[in-house]
């Protein structure tokens, strides 16, 4: 199978195999990973490694803490403002996709939101680069890769001089390219795209920005409690964290972020070049903003789209149907997707174009 699913999505084959073994017999303990206590030394070692691999792969400085939390990225949409924004204060948000829009909606429950730029009117087909951030903003929130519409901020340094703490939803491009992660004060990512199994969130936060709001925060919602307890405040999503650890190990072994960035570049270049060379396909977003993770395109003759999807299915290619709000195609090229799969897809696109146009 060639799995281009947008999320949950493909993980490295060896991660599936290792995780499968651990469900039956974890590290030769005779017990399943699903039946051991989360406070055992065996699981603590998993959590420690999952945290330290993130620090290493992201090259984080000592101000940054790593957490594994429940609730998916959507929980971060409200947990972030709950921890960082007082009711009378302003937070700045970029509106570049449905996910960013949802984050804006949740932040409004906790304080004032100023939307500093939006491409909503243009159907989120480009990234608006002219914006100014109020100096009084408590933070600026961005979405680094826009999963549904297929745009990605290629030059993140645009945000580094905003003069306010920087918060990023990196759910769909975390650890896919070299970024100076220390420039961000808070990063979050649902695991099920580039990192591991659904059911856990990676959150990286600078200690400097925490503890400054005056509202009461429920114990489970306060980042500081999770940091203090090493993400073992309550029962963590044990298996999901384990799968993240295995995926992070794989990434390190494969040469880390620099090496995966190269492969991701190769995959996306091959696909975009194929789209641009075949008149029957058309990319849907501004070229300079094209995502290397989620490639969105349509057919000039939409009537043939289902026929193409059928042929894909016959060739073991799955998960390329566009989001229900956009139609067309969305091909997700997350870290674990091999270049070989992109070759199979682009070959089929070429032969389909020859036969039908």
Ligand X SMILES: *Cc1c(COP(=O)(O)O)cnc(C)c1O
- Site residues (vs ligand X, CB under 6 A): 7, 72-74, 99, 143, 147, 169, 171-172, 190
DSSP state, 315? T
Which of 95, 138, 153, 169 is catalytic? The answer is 169
Contact predicate 59/182, CB 8 Å:
yes
Q: Which is nearer to ligand X, 45 or 158 (CB)?
A: 158
Residue closest to ligand X when measured from CB atoms = 72
Which of 99, 153, 222, 267 is catalytic? The answer is 99
Q: Which is nearer to ligand X, 147 or 247 (CB)?
A: 147
Instruction: Supply the minimum distance, in Å, between the C-beta of residue 25 and ligand X.
Output: 30
Q: How long is the chain?
A: 357
Burial status of residue 130 (CB atoms within 10 A of its CB: 0-12, 13-18, 19 or more): exposed
Would you call 193 a catalytic residue per the annotation?
A: yes
Task: Annotate 258-292 with DSSP letters as a single string.
Answer: HHHHHHHHHHHHHHHHHHHH-TTEEE-S-GGGB-S
Q: Which is nearer to ligand X, 59 or 74 (CB)?
A: 74
Distance CA 179, CA 168 (A): 12
Which of 138, 193, 292, 321 is catalytic? The answer is 193
Comparing C-alpha atoms, which of 256, 247, 264, 262 is closest to residue 195?
247
Instruction: Supply the minimum distance, in Å, between the C-beta of residue 297 and ligand X.
Output: 18
Would you call 169 a catalytic residue per the annotation?
A: yes
DSSP state, 147? T
Instruction: Supply the minimum distance, in Å, between the C-beta of residue 198 and ligand X.
Output: 7
Instruction: Supply the minimum distance, in Å, between the C-beta of residue 173 and ligand X.
Output: 8
Would you call 250 a catalytic residue per the annotation?
A: no
Q: Which is nearer to ligand X, 43 or 78 (CB)?
A: 78
Tell whether the torsion through CA atoms of 1, 335, 14 and 244 is positive or negative. Answer: negative
DSSP state, 321? B
Task: Annotate 84-126 with DSSP letters as a single string.
Answer: H--TTSEEEEEE-SHHHHHHHHHHTTTSEEEEEEE-GGGTT-S
**Cα angle vertex 264, ends 146, 292, to 5°?**
25
Instruction: Supply the minimum distance, in Å, between the C-beta of residue 102 and ligand X.
Output: 7
Catalytic positions, written as ranges:
99, 169, 193
């Amino acid at each position: 199978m060639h799995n281009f699913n947008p999320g949950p999505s493909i993980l490295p084959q060896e991660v599936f195999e290792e995780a499968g073994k651990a469900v039956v017999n974890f590290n030769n303990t005779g017990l399943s990973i699903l039946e051991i206590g989360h406070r055992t030394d065996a699981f603590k070692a998993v959590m420690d490694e999952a945290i330290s691999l993130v620090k290493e792969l992201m090259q984080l400085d000592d101000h940054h803490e790593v957490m594994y939390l429940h609730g998916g990225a959507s929980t971060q949409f409200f947990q972030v403002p709950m921890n960082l924004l007082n009711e009378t204060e302003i937070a700045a948000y970029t509106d570049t996709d449905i996910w960013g829009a949802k984050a804006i909606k949740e932040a409004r429950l906790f304080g004032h939101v100023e939307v500093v730029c939006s491409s909503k009117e243009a159907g989120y087909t480009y990234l608006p680069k002219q914006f100014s951030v109020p100096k009084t903003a408590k933070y600026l929130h961005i979405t680094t890769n826009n999963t549904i519409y297929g745009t990605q901020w290629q030059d993140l340094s645009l945000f580094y001089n905003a003069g306010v703490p920087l918060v990023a939803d990196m759910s769909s491009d975390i650890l896919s390219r070299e970024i100076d992660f220390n420039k961000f004060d808070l990063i979050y990512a649902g695991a099920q795209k580039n990192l591991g199994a659904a059911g856990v969130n990676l959150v990286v936060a600078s200690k400097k920005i925490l503890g400054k709001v005056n509202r009461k925060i429920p114990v489970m919602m306060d980042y500081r409690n999770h940091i203090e307890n090493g993400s073992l405040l309550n029962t963590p999503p044990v298996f999901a964290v384990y799968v993240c650890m295995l995926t992070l190990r794989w990434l390190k072994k494969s040469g880390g972020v620099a090496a995966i960035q190269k492969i991701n570049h190769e995959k996306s270049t091959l696909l975009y070049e194929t789209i641009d060379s075949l008149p029957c396909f058309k990319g849907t977003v501004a070229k300079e903003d094209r995502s290397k993770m989620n490639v969105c395109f349509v057919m000039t003759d939409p009537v043939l789209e289902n026929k193409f999807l059928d042929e894909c299915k016959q060739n073991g290619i799955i998960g390329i149907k566009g989001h229900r709000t956009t139609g067309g195609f969305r091909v997700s090229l997350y870290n674990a997707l091999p270049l070989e799969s992109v070759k199979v897809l682009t070959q089929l696109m070429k032969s389909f174009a020859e036969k039908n146009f």
